[in-house]
Amino acid sequence: METRPGSLAERRHFRFHQPHVHLASVFGDTWFGEKAEGFARFFGTPTFLVGQTLVVAIWIAVNVIGWTRFDVYPFILLNLAFSLQAAYAAPLILLAQTRQADRDKALSDADAQHREALAQAATERQELAAKQSAQILQLLDQNTELTRLTQELSMIIKTLTDEIHSKVVRP
């Protein structure tokens, strides 16, 4: 069975997901929600962590070496930047988790319906197999009875033939 995108097998599988397509996340599917979720997902990537580490290292180096003195030793502006980042990152990460939880729930419901449909189809196939087995047994019984009757009739025909033969052809 093919499973490439758009194949018949895939469309049949995703038919259980279709009733849940309309479900919007708590924050909606607006451009803001999508961009915020994308940004929140970026916070956990190695690219972000390496980039942030480089920015902090350069920030500290520039201020310690003395090329400029816009943020001296306790690095108040750097702390402020981290606080601002944390103030925005936490809600964005929660937003991303909430949206993902909504999608996971909808897909879980669709998968449960799919499993129920598969179980129902399996039950129907078992019932059909049992019914067909009973019909086959009934046909076998009928065939056995017909074979027995044919044998009896053959014996009667043989007896009659022998009797006629004995009367027609006298020794």
Task: Kindly report the pTM of this predicted structure.
Answer: 0.52
Which range is most confident: 1-10, 14-23, 48-57, 60-69?
A: 48-57
What pLDDT digit, counting tens, does each position of 26-43 carry? 556 678 778 888 888 888
DSSP 71: S
% of the chain beyond a pLDDT of 90:
47
Are residues 17 and 110 in contact, defined by beta-carbon separation less than 8 angstroms? yes
Listed in order, strand segments (DSSP E) in the chain are none
Residue whose token pair is 């970026």? 42
Are residues 96 and 24 in contact, defined by beta-carbon separation less than 8 angstroms? no
Give the mean pLDDT of 65-77: 87
- The pLDDT-based confidence of 2 (bands split at 50, 70, 90) is very low
